[in-house]
Amino acid sequence: MLEKLKDFWRYVRRLTGDDAYEQYLKHFAENHAGQEDSVEGEIAPLTREAFFKEWQDKKWKGIKRCC
């Protein structure tokens, strides 16, 4: 029963975007770990605050209407 509740909670978090930072870290580890920037050296993942600021900026900046 407890496992079903945990699965449901993970599903709710995924639907609402509440797990976006965890998904970003997972993606970063699988696809970008060990890559290097020519100027700064090894690329580090964004902090939680920087990630959400970038996420909100992408979502709300600019014109978001058709006309």
Domain ranges across the chain: 2-32+42-55
pLDDT at position 35 over 70: yes
pTM above 0.75, yes or no: no
- pLDDT given for residue 67 in this prediction: 67
Q: pLDDT category, 28, cuts 50, 70, 90?
A: very high
29: CB partners within 8 A, 6+ apart? 45
Q: pLDDT category, 40, cuts 50, 70, 90?
A: low
Tokens of residue 9, six digits: 């909670």
Q: In b/e form, how buried is each residue of 23-62, taking b as 16+ CB within 10 angstroms?
A: ebeeebeeeeeeeeeeeeeeeeeeeeeebeeeeeeeeeee
